Each structure stands twice: as structure tokens, then as C-alpha cells.
Copies of this chain bind each other. A is one copy, B any other.
Amino acid sequence: MRILVSNDDGIHAPGIQILASTLALEHEVHVVAPDRERSATGHALTLHKPLRLEEVPIEGTASSRCVNGTPADCVKLALGALMVDHMPDLVVSGINRGPNLGVDVIYSGTVSAAVEGTILLGRPCVAISLASFSDLGYEKGALFALDLVRELAGRTLPRAVLLNVNVPAVEIGDIAGVRVTRLGQRRYNDAFERRVDPRGKVYYWLAGEAEDLHEAPDTDVTAIRDNCISVTPIHYDLTHAGSLPDMADWRLPVPRPVGVPVEGGRTDTRGH
């Protein structure tokens, strides 16, 4: 297969280098990744400045370039300009330094690159993260990615679905299993540190840690806690279909200029 690899830690991060080189053992790999760390960028796009490319060789890959943009920019640029004559079969994003569990996925640049690939290719892509902020042990994630890519090639998933993978931070021999999971409900206890700078001005640092409390046994958070790899099918169609019938009787009148009486006020729920 032809695989586009990206990430959010930047092209110089060991996670992407080990992932790209490992996938290149069996596939044609092209890397387009940010030129520097872009963690917690969510699905940000660069609209107000031009994007520039630079070659950064990675062993075994067919091509490898960095971009002065976000993960979503990288995938858009690769699939919309750089690779239009040789489109990849798949986008694999990672291996992220640190977990992307539960609500993390909405902040994650790693996941956004895989979402963008899924949108543009119309096929399920993969985001993969190592649940540790040390740089040890990306190899086991890369080996799992090889297996997962092979399995994914023979499978279909519904429109707008992709896979979010987390690998526990244990020795490869200590991985207890692989679980298909749902996202946990992990919350952050967002603490802000208020400080005063040398000129007397107040500023704030975002601090706070994840609180993984009362997680159900079938979640990604629990899988990682049990030293298992988690594979979570996620999707980017955010419609909450279950709420549509409930909202049929909401009273949402058409706005009228102040002073004009509101008539009717029935909500139109055609199609539901």
C-alpha cells in the first residue's frame, strides 16, 4: 500500500520516525508532517499565511517533508497538492508522545490528521499514540500499526469512521492484550496558575491533570490502565441523532424585529 504518515509532535519527533521507517518495511511511505511541535492544535487550519515545505529524510521512506502548518494542514496539502498524482491508500498519524484517550481526541492534532485523511480519502485512517510522555517504546506501537494496517486493508467501516489507537507504556512483552473500546469520559481538573510578571501584570498558565475516575470497563482509559492496547472506532459526523425526535416539540419561533408580534412559533421538523 501507499501510506501517508503525519503527526502533531513534528517531523523530528522519534515517534513519527520509528512509525514511518517501520511501515516502510512493507509499504510505500510518504511523510508530510509539521516542522515543529503542534500538540493540542485540534483541527486548526492555516488560512492566513502561506504553507512552505522542506525535505527532512527519514530512513526507508519514499519521500519525507515538513510543513510550517498544523497536522490538518499537512494532510490537506499532501492530498490536495503534493500527492494528487499518486494518492495514498491510507493516512496513519503518530506515534504521538502521550495518550489520546476519551475527550483528548477533540484537542488532538494527531487525531485531526487521521480525521482529515478519512474525510479526503473516504476510507478509515488511523491515529496512534503512546500513553507515556517519555520517548521510550515507540517500536511496539509501530509493530502494532503494521498489523493493524494489514487488517484494515481487508475490512470496511461505515462512512466517516476512523480508528484511534493507544498503546500502553510498558515493555513489549508485558502488553496484556488488544481491546476494541469506546472513548472514556476522562475529565481534566483544569487548574489555572495565576502569576504576576516582573512588570506587575497578571498572567495565567493552563495546568491541571486528567482525572480518570469511574471509567467503564469497555473504555480506552480502562484498557490502558490494564496494560492493553485500545482500538476505538471514532467518527467525525457529530450529529446527535438521538436528540432529533426529542427536539420536535421545542418552541423555536422565527425571529421578528423587536415590536412585531410572533405568530405561530411551531418548529419545523420536516424529515424527522
Q: When chains A and B are docked, how far (Å) is the Cα of A103 from the Cα of B267?
A: 24
Contacts of A238 in B (CB 8 A): 105-106, 183, 234-236, 238
> Chain A: how many interface residues by the 8 Å CB criterion?
101
- Say if the beta carbon of A217 comes within 8 Å of chain B: yes
Nearest opposing residue in chain B for A241, CB measure:
B182
- Say if the beta carbon of A200 comes within 8 Å of chain B: no
Number of copies: 2
Contacts of A240 in B (CB 8 A): 157-158, 160-161, 233-235
Q: Which of A56-64, A86-94, A169-177 contacts B (4 or more CB under 8 A)?
A: A169-177
> Do residues A161 and B243 form an inter-chain contact, with CB atoms below 8 A?
yes
> Do residues B157 and A52 form an inter-chain contact, with CB atoms below 8 A?
no
Which of B53, B180, B216, B257 is close to A250, meaning CB atoms less than 8 Å apart? B180
Nearest opposing residue in chain B for A172, CB measure:
B257
Nearest opposing residue in chain B for A183, CB measure:
B239
4 additional A-B pairs beyond A53-B202, A80-B191, A144-B252, beta carbons within 8 Å, are A40-B45, A103-B119, A217-B271, A218-B272
